[in-house]
Amino acid sequence: MTFFESPEPYQIADKITNCHELSPDLVAHVFLIMQGRELENEAGFFARCAYQQWYWTRSEFNNQFRPYGFTEFNEEISNEDSDVIHNDVFEAHLNKYLEKETTDPIEWFYREIALMVLEGKTYRDIQQVTKINLRYISETMKQFKNDVYNNFYGDSDSDDINHV
């Protein structure tokens, strides 16, 4: 029996995530990372990789399943006045961007997916509700984040969707 055919990876992931609902997704994600590697200590590598994917805010797992800045995972808010002011300005910009009327179906699609993420739904939740492939949801959120960022900072060279 191989490591992934045993309950051990799920037990390790549950310990790392404190039995979070995304624990099975973390196991699957790390399984894909480990594919094709010759490892002497699969459990040790799995534990280290799962820990990094779960706790590193900019990890591939967190970007896909728990987007930094869009969910409850963003608990690292700074108390410095300049950061708070910047966050308030950006939040106001984001709200304005989301409320702007559009007739472009692609832009509307981006916003609807983003609104679901902002409501706290995971990519898996969105997939279950909409039946949209996880890859498309992930790509949509990347594009949405780029559009909002470029619009906020005034990147005029962007080929992204219409700007506010």
**DSSP 8-state assignment for residue 133:** -
Sign of CA dihedral 151, 154, 159, 164: positive
Average pLDDT of 26-34? 90
* Banded model confidence at residue 34, pLDDT cuts 50, 70, 90: confident
Tell me which residue of 138, 92, 79, 96 sits closest to 113, measured CA to CA: 138
**149 and 89 in a common domain:** yes
Domain membership of residue 72 (yes or no) is: no
**101 and 58 in a common domain:** no
Domain membership of residue 60 (yes or no) is: yes
Query: Which residues 6+ apart lie within 8 Å of 41 measured at CB?
Result: none
pLDDT of 154: 65
Average pLDDT of 62-84? 50
**149 and 86 in a common domain:** yes
**89 and 60 in a common domain:** no
Number of domains in the chain: 2
Residue range of the domain that includes 113: 81-153
